[in-house]
Chain A
């Protein structure tokens, strides 16, 4: 993994380092809001862990603030968005995954997986039709056989599953 945490001026960009602590603080505050009226047994552990977490984040923020104030670091987010060519693929991959999960209940397992595989390979730069359709079809077929035909799992059914159950059932 490349570490491109430094800006062009050589100062480390530490803004991205605040994302996880920010999420931690948000979760802690939300956690406290949901438990403050509960009996002590239900909240003792969360208050203990959350309290420590808030304290650690506070120290961390002060550490970064001091570095920025001394001019040793900046608050950039380069760490998360380095390598522009990879960014497009990464965003595309997340988009394909969101679509896959969102469309699964409507399109059914096999068709969603096939389209998801095709989409994700296109995002990754695979253009050869034989590789695209062969790999996606092979994965979708293998998963259909394993999860639906063999294990009878509760994946959402769609046109492919309905058609195949008609054929097999008939």
Chain B
């Protein structure tokens, strides 16, 4: 396929000309991303009256900037307060918050920003370069392959559980069971809903997220006067531009990790129904698998911040691919964008690329420009954001507890969800105190219903024959990769122990 360089140049210049829309939209996106309970989808729905009146390319640029920035914003409270702004940022807590507790909050934020921006940018540029090929990918990922993709995410439970496998697995299985509360996917019969109509649609993610992370963390914070140690406090109080530069250096040293985890996000984003949560868990797990320092994961390792952040922004380009190429939205935010595009009488699908290439490619060019402008908007703010940890706990805890409980209402507008957040807050507190990892519970809650949905879809197609799970070439390759990814750490541990034993034996000899 020949590239129309003139078109791409014109689109780039046009998108840069929209800087006055991109920058405020970026700030709005970061705010809604950082607030649990809010996301790009509900923000864009609220703003539909505004976007419907805009020119279509301007409206798309605005929505794309909000969307990309919201994925970036979710990582900020994960890092500073151990409270993920959305499901896609949950994996960022695992290493981001320990970095903050060490007084490296500013570096962690910069790592997150750089990984998000460049992960998203690389994924977008790849999409522009290979859009027709990538568009086919979604067609090959059916329910069988999706079962394996989700299993990749679920293996993170085993990784998190490494310190106490039994506790981790109990937490993960409990999360999976909580995740499938609600009506079943085929007959819509209620299961384990405790008689609450509010649970018929399934366990709502936002109150669970807020309870397990925000409220439980606040209940633990109560024990301290400040959330960082005195050493970390001194470091955070004397924030310098040098720390931003230090974070940039850490990021640049890991450019390859940013690249490939961004591509993981892109691929998972293309699959309709999959999203940032799956992408970030899979990227974190795979990143640890191929890391030279897997033992540092979970202790405040920069790689543990980069992987989920790069992947959850890589998703942003991916979710738009099926929308533009075949007219199927890859996610809920893409569906809102589709409404705006269709309102302007534009039919999405393969013909769009020949009939309106300026729009088809313009979306992705606008996304690339948004990411470029975003880095200049957000990076200088890391220095000031990291000072949040200096707020005394006696003010911080009431703010976290009350505002996140309010946020639990935002998604579905049920007071019930606020009570649910409180219940999960107490469960999360007990889990924290007894070292049942709350991230394992959350992975189960997020991936449990998706796993059931795709598994049942596959089994329905085969009329209950489980061999369908091994019936496709792509699926079988993925099964092999899954088994390899489970066995590789065991083999590596065995090798490590062997080397240590040999060294000990050699030393004694």
Interface set of A (CB-CB < 8 Å, partner B) = 1-2, 16-17, 19-21, 23-24, 27-28, 30-31, 34-35, 38-46, 49-50, 52-53, 56-57, 59-60, 63, 79-80, 83, 86, 89-90, 93-94, 97-98, 100-101, 104-105, 109, 113, 116-117, 120-121, 123-126, 131, 135, 139, 143, 147, 151, 153-156
Q: A41-B460, A42-B191, A153-B410 are contacts. A120–B397 as well, Cβ < 8 Å? A: yes
Which 10 residue pairs across A and B have the least CB separation, nearest first? A120-B398, A42-B184, A124-B394, A53-B173, A31-B192, A86-B223, A154-B413, A45-B452, A24-B174, A20-B436
| A residues less than 8 Å from B431 (CB atoms) | 20
Cβ–Cβ contact B166 & A151, under 8 A: no
| A residues less than 8 Å from B186 (CB atoms) | 39, 41-42
Report how far A24 CA is from B406 CA in the complex, Å: 28
| B residues less than 8 Å from A135 (CB atoms) | 395, 398-399
Cβ–Cβ contact A121 & B177, under 8 A: no
| A residues less than 8 Å from B177 (CB atoms) | 24, 27-28, 31, 46, 49-50, 53
| A residues less than 8 Å from B436 (CB atoms) | 20
Report how far A28 CA is from B308 CA in the complex, Å: 31
Q: When each residue 366-409 of chain B gets 1 if its CB lies under 8 Å from chain A and 0 otherwise, what string results? A: 00000000000000000000000000011101110111011001
CB B94 to nearest CB in A, in angstroms, measures: 15
B: number of interface residues (CB 8 Å): 65
| B residues less than 8 Å from A116 (CB atoms) | 402
Cβ–Cβ contact A125 & B167, under 8 A: no
| A residues less than 8 Å from B394 (CB atoms) | 121, 124-126
Give the residue of B187, B409, B427 whose beta carbon is less than 8 angstroms from that of A38. B187
Label chain A's interface by main secondary structure: helix
> For the complex, is B422 an interface residue (Cβ under 8 Å from A)?
yes
Within 208-223 of B, Cβ neighbours of A (below 8 Å) are at 215, 218-220, 222-223
CB B177 to nearest CB in A, in angstroms, measures: 5
Cβ–Cβ contact A93 & B397, under 8 A: yes
CB A157 to nearest CB in B, in angstroms, measures: 13
CB B390 to nearest CB in A, in angstroms, measures: 16
Cβ–Cβ contact A59 & B192, under 8 A: no
Sample of 18 A–B contacts (CB below 8 Å): A27-B178, A35-B191, A38-B184, A41-B186, A41-B460, A45-B452, A49-B176, A49-B448, A56-B170, A86-B223, A98-B422, A104-B418, A120-B398, A120-B402, A124-B395, A124-B398, A139-B403, A153-B413
Report how far A24 CA is from B212 CA in the complex, Å: 15
Report how far A27 CA is from B397 CA in the complex, Å: 30
Cβ–Cβ contact A53 & B192, under 8 A: no
CB B456 to nearest CB in A, in angstroms, measures: 6
| B residues less than 8 Å from A121 (CB atoms) | 394-395, 398
> For the complex, is B468 an interface residue (Cβ under 8 Å from A)?
no
| B residues less than 8 Å from A113 (CB atoms) | 402, 406
Label chain B's interface by main secondary structure: helix
Within 147-168 of B, Cβ neighbours of A (below 8 Å) are at 166-167
CB B46 to nearest CB in A, in angstroms, measures: 6
CB B198 to nearest CB in A, in angstroms, measures: 13
Cβ–Cβ contact B219 & A52, under 8 A: no
| A residues less than 8 Å from B191 (CB atoms) | 31, 34-35, 38, 42-43, 46
Report how far A52 CA is from B174 CA in the complex, Å: 10
Q: A34-B190, A46-B180, A105-B415 are contacts. A40–B170 as well, Cβ < 8 Å? A: no
Cβ–Cβ contact B433 & A56, under 8 A: no
Within 121-174 of B, Cβ neighbours of A (below 8 Å) are at 166-167, 169-171, 173-174
Give the residue of A41, A80, A101 whose beta carbon is less than 8 angstroms from that of B415. A101
| B residues less than 8 Å from A49 (CB atoms) | 173, 176-177, 180, 448
> For the complex, is B430 an interface residue (Cβ under 8 Å from A)?
yes
Cβ–Cβ contact B406 & A57, under 8 A: no
| A residues less than 8 Å from B218 (CB atoms) | 93
CB A27 to nearest CB in B, in angstroms, measures: 6
Cβ–Cβ contact A17 & B434, under 8 A: yes
> For the complex, is B459 an interface residue (Cβ under 8 Å from A)?
yes
- A23-B174, A40-B464, A120-B402 are known contacts; what are 11 more A-B pairs with Cβ within 8 Å? A1-B432, A16-B434, A45-B180, A49-B173, A49-B180, A50-B177, A52-B173, A53-B177, A79-B434, A93-B219, A104-B415
Identity of the chain B residue whose Cβ is nearest the Cβ of A89 in the assembled complex: B222
